[in-house]
Amino acid sequence: MSQPMSRDAPRQSLVSQAEFAQAVADEVALRAALMDADPVPQLLLQAQLSGDTDLLDQARSQITGGWNYMHTLSPAMCETIRERLIATLKQRAQHTPSHHDDLSPAGFGRALSTGVGAPVGDDYVQMLLEEFNAEKVDARSVAWRRTIPEAARARYHVLIIGAGLSGLCMGIKLREAGIPFTIFEKNATVGGTWYENNYPGCAVDIPNHFYSYAFEPNAQWSRHFARRDELWKYLEHCADKYDLRRHIRFQTEVVAARYDDAQAEWQLTLRDTQGIQTHAAGRILVPAVGQLNRPAIPNIEGIQTFGGPVFHTARWDTSVDLRGQRVAMVGTGASGMQVGPTIAPEVAQLTIFQRGRHWCFPHPNYHRSMQAGTRWALANIPYFASWYRALLFWASGDLMHPLLQVDPTWTQPEVSLNAESHAFREKLLAHLHAELADRPDLIEKTVPTFPPYGKRMLRDNGWFQLLKRDNVALVEGGVARVEPGAVIDRHGQRHAADIIVLATGFQATRLLAELSLVGEDNTNIRSLWGEDNPQAFLGITVPKFPNMFLLQGPNTILSHGGSMFFHTECQVRYVMQCVRELIEGGHAAMQVRAPVYEEFNRRVDAAHAQMVWAHPGVKNWYKNPAGRVTAVSPWRLVDYWKMTAALDPSHYRFAASVD
Ligand code: N01
C-alpha cells in the first residue's frame, strides 16, 4: 500500500513581471478602475506585494466584516491605499518577482484578519491560503500524471453520472490527471440544476465570486448574485474550456448500476431519449446527481381536473404566457421567494398558498450589479480576485454556524437557541415589522414560529412588498383540493385561477431513488438506506459499494452558509486521492470499512441532535419522515475541509491487485 497522501500543499506561485506590467500599462485606466473598485482588497494586496503593514494598522479599526459595505474608510484613506497600490504595482512591474508575493501563513492571516475585521483562526488561514492559489495550474497533479504509465491509468475508467457542477468538477480533475472517464447526462447539455431551473427570477443567493470553482474564477460576473442564465453559461464555459464535451454522453440516463464482483467493475444500463437501452462498464463509479433534482409534486386532490397549466418551478413551462392570468402559487421556499416577486407585476392575480412560514432577510448586494472598477481589477490585477474571494468566503462561510447550536441553558428555547440566535431573530423580526408596519394582518400571517435557520434561510427578494400588492393574496394553511378553474384552501374558500405553479421543492431525502443501484454481494442500496435514509462516510463512500464515490452525497448540503462549489471541490480532491491510491497500489477495489461509516454517521447524528433541527417546531426538507437529517452537513466548512483533506487508507478495505 502506498503512503497516505495529503492534499497538495499551498503553492505560492509568483505572478510574472509581465502580468504586472500589463496591469499598469494604462495607468489612467488602472487609476479609474481602482477609484471605483472596493478598497479593502486593494489594501490587502498592497500589504501583500509591498510587505508594509502600516496601512493595515491604520485601517484595522475601520473594517467590520468581509462584505464590501462593511467599512468606514474615508475617501482620503481610500486614495492613500490606491496610490500606494499603484506605486507598488509599478515597482513590481519593473523588478523580478519579489519574495513579498509569497505570503507566509502569518502574513496572510494578519492581512485577512484586518480585511474581515475579526481574528481569523489558524485553520481558516491554512484553508484560505490554499484557496488563494487555486487558480494556478495544479503542477503536482500534472507531475503525478507523468509518473504513472498511461496503461496503468487506462485500467481505471471512471463513470460519472451527471454533468452538473459536481460531475463537471470531477471530469476536470480527472482530465488533468490523465485518467479516462465518461460522463452520462440525461439532459441535452451541461449544468444540472442550473440548466433545469429556468423559472422567472431564478438566481443564486450566495455571492458568486465564492459560488464558483476556486480554480476557475470569473472576473466578469455582472452581479454580486448572478441570475440563472449567467451561472448556467459559466458551467457551459467550463465544459468547453476544459474540453469535457467529448467525454459526455448527453441525453443518456443511467437507469441501473451493478457492481460485478468477479470483474471488479461497475456495469451500467443506459437509456436514451428513444428508450433504447445500451451498456457501459468501468472500474469506478461517481454518482454526481445532487439532491435537489427530483421535484416534489404534491398529491393534491383533484389537481388533474384543474383544466389549465400546472407545472413545478424546476419544470417551468416557458410556452405559457403568464401576462394577465390568475396564477396560484403553492409554496413559499427559496423558489417561491424568487418566482413571486418576479411574476407579480405582469399577472392579473397572484394567490400564494403558504403552508409553513419562512424566515428571510435582505442583503444590500442582492440586486446590485458589480462595479465596473471591481470587475476591471478582478480581470487585470494579479491576486486581486484571490483576495476578493477570500473576503467573501469569510463573510458567507461559517459565521452563522454558532447560531444553529442549541444552548441547553438558554431561557427562551421556544423561539431561539442561544444568545446569538436570539439577537439574529430580533434583527429578522425588526426587518419584517419595518416592511409590514402598515399591514399588521400580514405580520400575523408571516412571523415564523421556529428559530432562525430551522428551514433554509431565505434572502428577501422583495417578499413583504410583494404581499402588499393589490393583485397579490397570501392564503395561510396550504391547499385542500383543486377544482376545475380554482384552488380550494384549508378553510374551504375558493380561489379562481388559470395557472398553478408548484414551488413545492424537491425529494431531497430520496437520494438516487430512481437508479437501481446494486453493490458487492448483490447488495441493493435500498437495503442499506431504505427509501429515504441515505448515509455515507464523509458523504462520499458506502460499505459494500466498492469504488463508488458520491458527490454531493448525504449530509453534504450546506444550511448555515458556504458554497456547494467549495464542498464539491473538497469531495473531488478526496476522490482524486482515492483514485490515485487505487492506481498506485494496483488495487482492484477499495471500500470503506463498515465501522468507519457507522461511526461517522453516529457523529453526524450526534452533531445534528445539538443543532436547530432538534427544535420541536422545525420541519424542513433536510429531514426524512423518521426525523433524521439526511441532506445537510452539521459541520463548519473548515471542519469538512480538514476531514476531506487527506485520505487515510486505513479507513478502507482494498481488494486484490489488478493483473
Ligand atoms: O423548496 P422548499 P424550494 N402543499 O422545499 C411548500 C435550493 N434553492 O424549491 O414550508 C402546500 O424550500 C413548503 O411548505 P413547508 C435551496 O437549497 C436555492 O423553494 O414545507 N405547500 C415550502 O413552502 C432550497 O432550500 C435557490 O410547510 C407545500 C415550499 O412548498 C431548495 O433549493 C433557489 C406542499 C417548498 O419549499 C428548495 O427550495 C431555489 C404542499 N403539499 C432553490 N409541499 C437559491 O436562491 C411543499 N409545500 C440559490
54 and 75 part of one domain: yes
Q: Are residues 431 and 580 in the same domain?
A: no
Q: Using N-to-C axis directions, what is the helix angle for 228-241 and 165-177, rounded to 10°?
A: 20
Q: What is the pTM of this model?
A: 0.95
Which pLDDT score is estimated for 138? 57
Q: Are residues 525 and 450 in the same domain?
A: no
Q: Which of 477, 502, 527 is the last residue in one of the domains?
A: 502
Asked if residue 547 belongs to a domain, the reply is: yes
User: Ligand 1 centroid vs 296 CA: distance in angstroms?
Assistant: 9
Residue 146 lies in a domain: no
Q: How far is the CA of 332 from the centre of ligand 1 (A)?
A: 6
Cell 426524512, located at residue: 624
9 inside domain: no
Atom 9 in ligand 1: residue holding the nearest Cα? 505
Q: Is residue 533 part of a domain?
A: yes
Closest ligand 1 atom to 331 CA: 30
Compute the distance between CA of residue 159 and CA of residue 289 in angstroms, rounded to an integer.
Answer: 13
Q: Are residues 355 and 277 in the same domain?
A: no
Separation CA 589–CA 593 (nearest Å) = 13
Q: Are residues 330 and 477 in the same domain?
A: yes
Q: Of the residues 449, 482, 502, which one is the last residue of a structural domain?
A: 502
Q: Distance from the CA of 391 to the center of ligand 1, in angstroms?
A: 30
Per-residue model confidence (pLDDT) at position 237 = 98
In a domain, residue 634? The reply is yes
348 lies in the same domain as 441: yes
CATH of the domain at 562: 3.50.50.60
What CA–CA distance (Å, rounded) separates 558 from 411? 28
Strand-pair category, 284-287 with 277-282: unpaired
Distance (Å) from CA 211 to ligand 1 centroid: 21
Out of 487, 502, 517, a domain closes at 502
**Could you give the number of structural domains in the chain?**
3
Residues 528 and 648 in one domain: yes
pLDDT at position 95 is 77
pLDDT means per 10 residues, the chain with 659 residues, are 34 71 96 98 95 95 97 98 97 73 85 97 93 62 77 95 98 94 98 97 97 95 98 98 98 98 96 97 98 94 98 98 98 98 98 97 97 97 95 97 97 94 98 98 96 97 98 96 98 98 96 96 97 97 98 97 97 95 95 98 98 88 95 98 96 83
- Asked if residue 414 and residue 383 are part of one domain, the reply reads no
Shortest-distance atom of ligand 1 to CA 332: 23
| Cα gap 170→575, rounded to integer Å | 9
Name the 3-class secondary structure at 429.
helix
Same domain, residue pair 497 and 519? no
Same domain, 453 and 423: yes
Residues 472 and 524 both lie in one domain: no
Domain that holds residue 648: 155-294+508-605+621-654
Q: Has residue 631 been placed in a domain?
A: yes
- Tell me if 12 is assigned to some domain: no
Same domain? For 52 and 130 the reply is yes
Assess if residue 195 is contained within a domain: yes
Q: What is the CA radius of gyration of the chain?
A: 26
Task: Give the model's pLDDT for residue 1.
Answer: 34
